[in-house]
Amino acid sequence: MQLMNARVLLSDTSQCVGEVLTLPTQQPGTLVEVDGSVYSVLERRHQYSLRSGRYRLDRIVLYVRLAEGIASERNYWQGKWVIGNPQCLFNAHSPLIRCAPQPSGPCQGCKFFESHS
């Protein structure tokens, strides 16, 4: 599989923050770096064009949010990346959101922490 240019847009404002070289299979929850800033991919969209009677991948657009503190709180748990402490009962076990009680974090010292029994 070859690398393609992907346009990187902020999810809340649709402002373009730059372009990156990426695989067409870039998944939500992964991190991308653009001009020294780290972003978390929330959504990936493919745009196709019809050429010679066949559809071909023409452009990739990644919708992202700034990954403030997320990069340091990512943990590899049961074969996937999650944000925060996966041992907490309220953890969403997701690469996109930490938990319902305190989604912006941090997990360290959280008053809602309850361990799995």
Q: Is pLDDT above 70 for 76?
A: yes
Q: Do 30 and 82 fall into the same domain?
A: no
Q: Do 78 and 104 fall into the same domain?
A: yes
Q: Is pLDDT above 80 for 1?
A: no
Residue 117, pLDDT score: 59
Mean pLDDT check: name the lowest of 13-17, 34-38, 66-70, 98-102.
66-70
Q: Do 93 and 43 fall into the same domain?
A: no
Q: Do 80 and 62 fall into the same domain?
A: no
Residue range of the domain that includes 29: 4-66
Tokens 């010292």 sit on residue: 109
Q: Do 61 and 88 fall into the same domain?
A: no
Q: Do 53 and 88 fall into the same domain?
A: no
3-state secondary structure of 89: coil
Residue 91, pLDDT score: 87
Q: Is pLDDT above 80 for 39?
A: yes
Q: Is pLDDT above 70 for 29?
A: yes
Q: What are phi and psi of 72, to 5 degrees?
A: -80, -15
